[in-house]
Structure 1
Amino acid sequence: MSTPVVFDPMTLPSDDNVNSYTFCVELKGSRWFLQKGKMIAYYGQINFDGIGHGRFERLVRSSFHSPLHASDWVVAEGSGKMLLADRAFDVNSFDLDDGNLTIRSGNLLAYEPSLALKQSIVPGFVTLIGTGKFVAASNGPVVFMEPPLRVDPQALVGWADCPSPCHHYDHGYMTGVMGGIRSLTGIGGTSGEEHQFEFVGAGTVLLQSSEALMAEQATGFVPNEPGVPGSPGGGGQHGSTPRMPGQLGDLQRRFGL
């Protein structure tokens, strides 16, 4: 039986993976943008403030341009090391060098303020522009592909330095036996064989090694489990989180409404 590795502030890596599912960001009196609920622990003196915090107005003005997702993000500021993770999905960092990358909004965990986040015209995605590091999660390791390429929409993580994709529908599959059964019975959803995103031109496409999307989870969700302070109790659906008036639902956020 192998002995577990025990980390402390000195042995934790700096801006690197602790393992396949956890990433360590080191702050040295600096700031990072962080999606709510993705920090699992930290050492040092680190403060977390919402995007609407007054003293960050200049920072937000230059580095965050997505009102639709503003309630899902915070600014981490201070000195120390913080660990990022997302439900045991694969987590990795990527570097942009005067580039642009569009990524599924739920997959982006954190990014340096030297990058500017903008709301993509493609629903459910955001775009990072500039030079800097960002951290993203995926359902399985990320595979990098070169266009021209058609991909299953559920396997798509994002794309860099290439035009937005267009929809492609396989006419033969849709009019074949399986497509006919689905049109008559309504059984079975749209598959990757029937519908793909098509990429052309120069650039890089990022795919996850799975056709299963990372399930969306309400921001600040607290599991309804024994010993978890603040977990929802009483009636209602297990694990559900009540929404306040004016909040956007998961489907609205996914489709950019």
Structure 2
Amino acid sequence: MNRYTLQDFVNQTEQQDKGEGLFELETQRMLEVNLESKIWAKSGSMVSYMGNIKFTREGILEHGIGKMFKKALTGEGASLMKAEGEGKLYLADQGKKISILNLYDDSIFVNGNDLLAFEPSVSWDIKLMRKVAGMLSGGLFNIHLSGRGMIAITSHYEPLTLRVTPSRPVFTDPNATVAWSGSLQPEFVTDVSLKTFFGRGSGESIQMKFSGEGFVVIQPFEEVYFSGDNNG
């Protein structure tokens, strides 16, 4: 039998048009963007493109001086690039699993390192987590996205969504927290007793506490961030 031929490999892995619109999951770890005008994407996430597409690193005053100062304070992570033109664009981020979300007057917070791409119609703002600046090594900011349009987020392996209710708050490890609904405002709590169970320093004792009504998305992986890494 002529198995595993080169033609078999091409047939099995070849790009397919699914007709799903602007954002398509070409694979679970590769986002296809059917670009017709402009999108924002995480810097360094382009792996291939076809057509006439121009890439521009985000201008320092592109989104207003307020966001510029916030980004200077975070010092990492949420560096964006603008892709303009027409064609097919393929985005990926370290082999992480991609989830597409279509906002219909919704809002969501996404960890700054886990936002892959979004439409210009989506409003966004950087939210700093100042209270824990001295406790966690990076990952100190998230991005609030709202309005209408498509966004793509990433997670290490399969994401799990936990419901938050007034009678049942949810506690998470900050480094395993991907996103949460816009109705929630996390607070940071410290559990000194957890230090005795983990040998990796004080980070394990800090938890995010979500109270109210909404949801939290977590991943089965603790992502450690390093200050000064702008490029993702």
Q: State the TM-score, normalized to the length of structure 1.
A: 0.68
Measured in 2, the distance between the counterparts of 1:9 and 1:145 equals: 33
Structure 2 match to 1:136: 153
Correspondence list, 1:58-77, <5 A: 60=63, 66-67=67-68, 68-69=70-71, 72-77=79-84
Aligned length: 202
Q: Using a 3 Å threshold, how does the CA distance of structure 1 residues 141 and 6 change in structure 2: closer, same or farther?
A: closer
Please say if 1:32 is aligned against 2:33. Answer: no
Please say if 1:18 is aligned against 2:30. Answer: no
Measured in 2, the distance between the counterparts of 1:11 and 1:94 equals: 17
Please say if 1:161 is aligned against 2:178. Answer: no
Measured in 2, the distance between the counterparts of 1:52 and 1:171 equals: 43
Write the deviation string for residues 92-112 of structure 1: whole angstroms up to 9, x where unpaired: 211222122111111111100
Structure 2 match to 1:249: 228
Q: Using a 3 Å threshold, how does the CA distance of structure 1 residues 142 and 9 change in structure 2: closer, same or farther?
A: closer
Structure 1 match to 2:101: 94
Higher relative contact order by CA 8 Å / sep ≥ 6: 1 or 2? Answer: 2
Q: Give 3-state SS (helix, strand or coil) of 2:223's partner.
A: coil
Please say if 1:188 is aligned against 2:200. Answer: yes
From 116, 138, 144, the equivalent of 2:123 is: 116
From 217, 225, 228, the equivalent of 1:206 is: 217
* Runs of 5+ unmatched residues, structure 2: 73-77, 130-139
1:10 CA drift (Å): 5.0
Q: Using a 3 Å threshold, how does the CA distance of structure 1 residues 86 and 157 change in structure 2: closer, same or farther?
A: same
Measured in 2, the distance between the counterparts of 1:80 and 1:200 equals: 43
Contact 1:65 1:118 in 2 (8 A): no
Q: Give 3-state SS (helix, strand or coil) of 2:128's partner.
A: coil
Measured in 2, the distance between the counterparts of 1:23 and 1:12 equals: 14
Contact 1:65 1:119 in 2 (8 A): no
Q: Give 3-state SS (helix, strand or coil) of 1:106's partner.
A: coil
1:202 CA drift (Å): 1.1
1:139 CA drift (Å): 1.0
From 102, 105, 109, the equivalent of 2:112 is: 105
Correspondence list, 1:215-226, <5 A: none
Q: Which moved more, 1:159-168 or 1:64-73?
A: 64-73
Letter in 2 for 1:47: K
Q: State the TM-score, normalized to the length of structure 2.
A: 0.75
Q: Percent identity?
A: 24
* Runs of 5+ unmatched residues, structure 1: 217-247
Q: Which runs of 4+ in 1 moved over 6 A?
A: none
Query: CA-atom RMSD, angstroms?
Result: 2.9
Contact 1:65 1:116 in 2 (8 A): no
1:209 CA drift (Å): 2.2
Measured in 2, the distance between the counterparts of 1:115 and 1:153 equals: 25
Measured in 2, the distance between the counterparts of 1:53 and 1:103 equals: 22
Larger radius of gyration: 1
1:66 CA drift (Å): 2.8
Write the deviation string for residues 11-55 of structure 1: whole angstroms up to 9, x where unpaired: 786421111110101112x1101111101001111111232299x
- Which has the larger share of strand? 2
